[in-house]
Structure 1
Amino acid sequence: MQEVSTYYPPSAPTPNSAPVSTKSNVDQLHNSESRQFTYKELVKYTNKFERSIGQGGFGLVYYGHLEDNTEVAIKMRSESSSHGLDEFLAEVNSLTKVHHRNLVSLVGYCWEKDHLALVYEYMSRGSLCDQLRGKNDVGETLSWRTRVRIVLESAQGLDYLHKGCSLPIIHRDVKSNNILLDENLRAKIADFGLCKTYLSDTQDHISTIAAGSAGYMDPEYYHTGWLAESSDVYSFGVVLLEVATGEPPILPGHGHIVQRVKQKISSGNVSLVADAKMGGAYDVNSMWKLVDTAMACTTDAAIQRPPMSVVVAQLKESLALEESRGDNSVTGSFTSTTGAPMSTFGPLAR
């Protein structure tokens, strides 16, 4: 067990001494309904930070349980974290404004002398990335039906951020590591430290320094600094391709997942795209629907990408196709549910 003293990050300003630029966020923080924890309480609830369950840009994440035995995940800001006070405040204030079944819930926070921490609901099945690539002793392969349902739920969470809030919120770090799963594999989007909010409903983009994760970042946003909802759409398209292929966005020596999939679908054979671990157990039309949606999301020109509402609709269709796959249909690596030869299928017209 590590000593508690190892969890002292660089000193953060106290609420009263915070820079003027963050004062409004501080005021919102105090007016929020989120619970404010003391560092002593976090030490108690984690049994002196006994069990680490993950790590992100903010720092290590620890398992804990509150006095009423509610399970929580506690993100402690680490000494090496590139995320500072502004990201901390952005995440707390964003999550106190949004409430959706497909967004992770913030239980509270700690801002005490040297300690910054975020306390979330505990998601026992880890991240979508863990499930796809066998981390954390994940022994089973996700079925196609489960994969499509997970990304549909995630898309609904993103659509809410873009259109369901009083002011649109751009997540800015959509990736499979930030889609968390509960014990029933229900999906929720997490990690709002980089999110941005439109200041008015007349804006069509925000000018900002590009930020995000390698492999997921919208190339147009990267080159221009113009952030829009379509930037999240691009990142989500990469996640869709991860779900279809089971592969990471970037494979050394093999390039980016968008280019890899483009080469494979040119043959008209979706089995070349599909994750081999599924053993061909999927409806071909459902697979094509998701892959085609992913390719639309990841077009280079942001203006050509669909809004998340359209992505949600397409994924609902993909899920319905998979759910209708009967016992009499041959598995997806050979025929579709219509019985037509697979070679007749290809990307849908956009």
Structure 2
Amino acid sequence: MTKALRYLCCGAKCLGASTKPEKETTSKKVVKGSKSKKRGSVLVQKPADTTFYGPRIFTFRELSTATKQFSAEEVLGRGAFGSVFKGTLKDGSIVAVKQIAHDSNQGEREFLAEVSIISRIRHQNLVQLQGWCHEKGNLLLVYDYMPNGSLDKLLEGNNANAKLAGWDLRHSVLRGVACALSYLHEECQQCVLHRDVKPSNVLLDENFSPHLADFGLARLIHHTTDNVQTTIIAGTRGYLAPELAQVGKASTKSDVFSFGVLALEVATGRKALEKTQSEKQAVSLVDLVWRAHEQHKLLSMADPKLEGAYDPEKMNKLLQMGLFCCHPNPEARPPMNYIRQWFIQEVPLPDLPPVKPRVNYVLTSPSPPKLALPAPEAKLAIAGPEAKLALPAPEATLAIEGPQKSSSTPSKSPSPTDNRSPAPKSPIPRSPTTPSPITSKEHTKSNGASPQPQTTPQTQPTQPSSATNGN
């Protein structure tokens, strides 16, 4: 047993799972002269109260007896993670016991998700968890029993009360599921993503009121976070939003897409994926309804089992609402709160595009640390060493530029007209042949600003012939 299951067992009392009644103290006067040794008051314990408020822990023996040792005759249904059995407790109440398969890789994760999520929420359109059991390597969940089965059996006609599945009942079922999803998305303390909305997870009680069930794939996120990154695409094929396969982010809009497929199934009586005679592969129901919408034959998709006993205008609006929820662009899908208001008050829906839009989904990088580094900092980090090597280059050029100009002449003193030369910063006594200020000034006046005349031969004005020989 993992640490999570141990923590779950320890937190049972916090969820109100304790079945032991608290002792109540009542005062009782002692009659004088009696031989009783009790002082002043006694503890009176009331009979055990079998009622409980919230989920509790069942024993494996208790559930095994309730389901007749998990007999095949008591099986209500089978799923990807296990089977559901009908059980009768000692007090006569009927429950549904879900047994997680031992060979299920994600069975324990589903068990923890169901107990941690559904045990803390209450809604009239959500199935209630009565308790759980984890003994001898068995993971069991106990729910309220729904006598009218699931919605998919009702639509397929396998239910004994399938004839009652008229327009009013279908509209009422969709409204209840919309209220449940709106509660999960916006009214809970934390936003709950169901991630597996489909007809088989919608259970009907004795009054045909819908109850959304199976929270094994549900996830909790903050209301400020619109999506959650997932490494494994969870859900059922045909009900998955198209962006999940590309982006891998589940959000409330992905639940809206699944609800849209559910609404189309209820209106058309068809499955989310079905094979046609002309095409060997399974065709999506969403694509079929979009084609009918493009050809202006939307009412032709209505369920023939209704035999026309429906309002054409309301059926047309229901099909449009289903396509609106299944819009390829997640941002164009309405929130579940808006859909709930549409069922209650019939608020108007935006106009659908005449043709199914095509959307390109952008796949983000799976490594956020690399994307978090700004590009300018990376460029500066790479250009740093090159910048350090390039900085001395202008200084070296300036240092060599002076000698290069003075190497053409015997004197190292710069020309007075060259303002760029750094030679004036050097001390004058370094040049033994530096001309006097008077001589250089007279030479400048006579030759102007030309840098070509040589000043070194004029350091000795009495010997002009030596200057001529130097040139």
Q: TM-score by structure 2 length?
A: 0.62
Give % identity: 37
Matched with 2:130 is 107
- The aligned counterpart of 1:203 is 225
**2:310 maps to which of 276, 282, 286:** 282
**CA distance 1:22–1:46, change in 2 (3 Å):** closer
**1:91-130 equivalence runs, <5 A:** 91-130=114-153
Deviation of 1:48 (Å): 2.0
* C-alpha contact 2:155 2:162 (8 A) present in aligned 1: no
Candidates 151, 165, 171, aligned match of 1:148: 171
Structure 1 runs not aligned, ≥5 long: 1-12, 321-346
Amino acid at match of 2:344: K
1:88/1:30 Cα in 2 relative to 1: closer, same or farther (>3 Å)? farther
Partner of 2:343: 315
Amino acid corresponding to residue 15 of structure 2 in structure 1: S
1:269 aligns with 2:271: no
**1:43 Cα deviation from its structure 2 partner:** 1.1
Partner of 2:63: 42
Give the CA deviation at 1:82: 4.3
Q: Structure 1 residues 189, 279: closer, same or farther in 2, change over 3 A?
A: same
- Pair 1:56 & 2:39 matched: no
**1:203 counterpart letter in structure 2:** T
Q: Distance in 2 between matches of 1:84 and 1:152?
A: 31
- Which one scores higher on RCO, CA 8 angstroms, separation ≥ 6? 1
Contact 1:26–1:89 under 8 Å retained in 2: no
**Out of 208, 221, 228, which is 1:185 matched to?**
208
Deviation of residue 276 (structure 1)? 0.3
Indicate if the aligned counterparts of 1:289 and 1:315 stay in contact, CA closer than 8 A.
no
The amino acid of 1:52's aligned partner reads V
Aligned-partner Cα distance in 2 for 1:132–1:256: 18
Partners of 1:66 and 1:22 in 2: CA distance: 24
- The letter of the residue matching 2:181 is L
Query: Which residue among 204, 219, 236 is the counterpart of 2:259?
Result: 236
> SS of the residue aligned with 1:251?
strand
Distance 1:173 1:164, change over 3 A: same
Paired position in structure 1 for 2:459: none
The answer as to whether partners of 1:265 and 1:273 remain within 8 angstroms in 2 is: no
| Alignment coverage as a number of residue pairs | 305
Q: Secondary structure at the match of 1:197?
A: strand
Structure 2 residue 250 is the aligned partner of structure 1 residue 222: no
Aligned partners of 1:289 and 1:82: how far apart in 2?
42
**TM-score with structure 1 setting the length:** 0.82
| Matching residue's letter, 1:35 | R
> Residue 212 of structure 1 corresponds to which residue in structure 2?
235
1:87 shift after superposition = 1.3
2:217 to 191, 194, 202: 194
The Cα shift of 1:26 comes to 5.8
Tell me whether 150-159 or 254-263 shows the greater mean CA deviation.
254-263
Question: What RMSD over aligned residues (CA atoms) do the two structures have, in Å?
Answer: 2.0
For 2:14, the aligned partner's letter is: N
CA contact (8 A) 1:207 1:226 kept: yes
